[in-house]
Structure 1
Amino acid sequence: MIRLFKHYVPHAVLLLGMVDVVLLMLSGELGWVIRARQIEIDPGHFSSRLVQLFSFAALIEMAMIAVGVYGPDALRSMRYAAARLLVAVSLGIIALSAFYFLVPERSLWRSNLFYAMFIAICLLFANRLLLGSLLGAAAFRRRVLVLGSGNRAERLRKLGERPEAGFAIVGFVAMSDRRPVVEEAIPRAVLTDLTRHVENLGVSEVVLALEERRNALPLKDLLRIKTAGVHVNDYSSFLERETGRVDLDTLNPSWLIFSDGFSSGRMVSSAAKRVFDIAASLLLLLFTVPVIALFAALVKLDSEGPAFFRQTRIGLYGQSFDLLKLRSMRTDAEADGQAQFAQANDPRVTRIGRFIRRVRIDELPQAWSVLKGEMSFVGPRPERPEFVAGLEDKLTYYAERHMVKPGITGWAQINYPYGANLEDSRHKLEYDLYYAKNYTPFLDLLIILQTLRVVLWHEGAR
């Protein structure tokens, strides 16, 4: 993987995306030339429309990211990729039409967009047919040697067996005399030169997966491997990179303290984030007031009670605030006074409530909390005080998720289904900690774009 703005992107995905951008610009150019020839005018020089072609490629590329074109399923299945490409290009053309209406002097002809759209779909799909086998080949996977043969090593083996894994494990070395969980692990004692073994296997990365590190670190081996030019990684950092979450099973305070993250450069990121939040919340409220008003009326007609409801949530640094949402449950949803997680097919949800939850319309009034500065567009979902108190007792590091503002959408929301129990909360905390540790405007942009995928395919809604 390559690290862009503190976020890891697989080499295969980066290569595919770069080629896609070139093909999109080519599609726009071919569409322009074809249309110009049809009406018998000089198409002019390519350089005279670079801005138009770049805007065409950029907006469709963002639509592709948003609908999950670069997800693992899209990289493995041509049928899945074709469906997502059709949706992405269609959404991209709609976005371009709006952009060209606002900035007409930077627009391509509408007839040109018609040709460019079909050319783009053909070229993008052909790109996946041609590169698909290469993207899944070992040439695009890092060759990893695991030092360890216990449960941690076994977990890495299972992780490496996934089709979307960006690494291939080429061997295991048992570093202790304990009975190995990974049976094929080679005992360290039989290797006279571990560095030579690493070189013979063509290893690009060594991962330390010891069960007990106290007084057991093979410092001499690690030093020689490192000075030989091979990357050495610890278990927690490797899992963070490969899974996009902080693994609670192996997390310790020293790793959080000494690993990269929570940098002082966040001051600039925070300022940019607040400017974006103010501008985006104002625009969202401006354009969605009619939608909110319509569904507020429908909520009132569908069931007794107010159209909106306020609920206390925990925000930045553990401070409480009132969250405003469209009501989607009956007013007696918690008649016994006990806070409850929403469940799949929850009987407390009203007919209109089920729809507005599925398409996230009930979340729109939260833009007011964003405008006031109590929330951000992107961040961990704010929980109720009743849940927070219990989760902080049961889940170590749960309080650390409150070191960033809560958000309407977040890294956990686009990567994990709706959480309804302690185990779900634990998994979502791992994603929230990754975001709190690594957030940048780039990661926020990825999350905002991919939220569209969650809305379109109803992923995680309850």
Structure 2
Amino acid sequence: MAKAIADTATSGEGKKLNVAASTLVGSRHFLFRIRFQLLGGLTFAIFAPAIIRIAFNPEVIYTINLQVTVAAAVMAHLAGFLAHRRIGNFPGVAAASYILPTFALSYGAVFLTIFFFRFEYSRFQAAASFTQSTLWYFGLSLVARRLDPYRLVVVPGGDVERLRALQGVHWFWIQSTNVIVEKANGVVADLRADLGDEWERYIADRALSGTPVYHVKQVSESLTGRVEIEHLSENTLGSLNPNQAYLKIKQAADWASALVLVFALAPALALIALLIRLDSDGPALFRQRRVGYRGKIYTVYKFRSMRTEPDTGSDKNSVITKRDDDRITPMGRVLRKFRIDELPQAINILRGEMSWIGPRPEAVVLSKMYETELPFYRYRHIVRPGISGWAQVNQGHVAAIDDVMEKLHYDFYYIKNFSPWLDVLIVLRTVKTMLTGFGAR
């Protein structure tokens, strides 16, 4: 029976399990109920400012100005709420830190559209709605922090010991089927192990009582942001196939945004190229053959940040950037710290070879080496490589085999959870990375 439950839990047609510590499904507290959060947010952030405005000027209720502002604010608030909730489901996310940027994006997009089409609206009411939206969810987040941590019951047997190293959850390690943990947020078990009849009845009873039952692998992936890929039998590669419709939508969005960026930043890019030429001998652009989408080899373009040396593309040591590498020029150090050297890859995006977000493309010589050392390495080429990605914002720049294996776990998590929500989260984290210089070499 446990095997049947496992098949249901991991099926692409079944309910997707995402139990990140910040927004674990199944919380009993009313603060975590969608109905309370959303209706409270709409009332506090949209209807309250509208009512206050009507109280001062009752006739405004009949104006298009109020109607457009309220309708736009509702759309922006719903988009912000949905994006914030979905982003908060990913592991390692301190949900409160993404409230302001998420709602800024949703309100900015909606009201810029309103402005573009020259609809009449109240700037003051729109600003009040945005401010109160962020205050509402910040308040909920602060109150939620004072509540008890999420409570997960662990059924003994199988591969559950891996959970002991995971933080952010209150684990209950039970040893008897007579133990019932009150207000538990879920039960975790290795559903592919032979647990015995008593434990299988316990799991079934907990599921029938309304308590979510999670497979240990889904819990581990959701709390670490990594997919385990040591053995073929541990992976359903079909479930790792990315959404083909979103692949096409994302490519179109990448192409359009890259085109806008190239035209908008053309003067700045030209200035950077000039400074590179003045700083050291050699071309402004660096070119390198890398392995990309579906294993095809292409030429990547970056601003040159190192001194020019004879072509040794077959030497793996020449294509690995070491910490405090003495080949990096003074100008290149600044470019690399803030990821400015990556901007010319917009050319690769326009050519359909890359995306803004995806697994980092590796030099051909490194890719061949990793393929011989690491299982399933080639499978990361099922999506377009990116300028930034889930591994980059979590791990930074790596080159050693052990570190690359860890990076591969992050890459597979990205492919398995391929979605616009994860891309938005990576974009927000990339901005933070650019400001802090995390992982730069």
Above 0.5 in TM-score? yes
Map Cα deviations across residues 370-415 of structure 1 (whole Å, 9 max, x no partner).
2222122322110011111222222222122122221222221222
* 1:295 and 2:308 correspond: no
Partner of 2:122: 108
- 1:222 to 1:278, Cα distance in 2 relative to 1, 3 A: farther
Contact 1:59 1:96 in 2 (8 A): no
- 1:101 to 1:29, Cα distance in 2 relative to 1, 3 A: same
Unaligned runs of 5+ in 1: 76-80, 173-185
Partner of 2:152: 143
Map Cα deviations across residues 61-85 of structure 1 (whole Å, 9 max, x no partner).
699799999985746xxxxx58x76
Map Cα deviations across residues 352-384 of structure 1 (whole Å, 9 max, x no partner).
222222332222221221222212232211001
> What TM-score results when the alignment is normalised by the length of structure 2?
0.76
- 1:422 to 1:356, Cα distance in 2 relative to 1, 3 A: same
Distance 2:276 2:247 in 1: 36
- 1:345 to 1:104, Cα distance in 2 relative to 1, 3 A: farther
The alpha-carbon deviation at position 310 of structure 1 amounts to 0.9
Partner of 1:133: 146
* 1:383 and 2:362 correspond: yes
State the secondary structure of the residue aligned to 1:49: helix
Unaligned runs of 5+ in 2: 1-11, 25-30
State the secondary structure of the residue aligned to 2:362: coil
The alpha-carbon deviation at position 323 of structure 1 amounts to 0.4
Partner of 2:74: 54
- 1:35 to 1:228, Cα distance in 2 relative to 1, 3 A: closer
Distance 1:200 1:339 in 2: 59
Partner of 1:316: 293
Partner of 1:176: none
Which of 412, 416, 435 is matched with 1:456 structurally?
435
* 1:242 and 2:231 correspond: no
Contact 1:5 1:442 in 2 (8 A): no
Partner of 1:155: 162
Contact 2:87 2:425 in 1 (8 A): no
The alpha-carbon deviation at position 429 of structure 1 amounts to 0.5
- 1:108 to 1:296, Cα distance in 2 relative to 1, 3 A: farther
- 1:239 to 1:95, Cα distance in 2 relative to 1, 3 A: same
Distance 1:365 1:37 in 2: 54
My pick for the range that moved more, 338-347 or 20-29, is: 20-29
Map Cα deviations across residues 111-132 of structure 1 (whole Å, 9 max, x no partner).
4455556545544443333332
My pick for the range that moved more, 233-242 or 61-70, is: 61-70
Contact 1:68 1:450 in 2 (8 A): no
5 Å matches for 1:426-445? 426-445=405-424
My pick for the range that moved more, 218-227 or 360-369, is: 218-227
How many residues matched? Answer: 413
- 1:219 to 1:282, Cα distance in 2 relative to 1, 3 A: farther
Distance 1:388 1:376 in 2: 19
Which of 376, 379, 384 is matched with 1:397 structurally?
376
The alpha-carbon deviation at position 244 of structure 1 amounts to 1.9
Partner of 1:348: 327
Partner of 2:340: 361
State the secondary structure of the residue aligned to 2:387: strand
In structure 1, what residue type is equivalent to 2:72?
Q
Partner of 1:207: 189
Cα RMSD after superposing both structures: 4.2
Contact 1:317 1:402 in 2 (8 A): yes
Q: State the percentage of identical aligned residues.
A: 30
The alpha-carbon deviation at position 300 of structure 1 amounts to 1.5
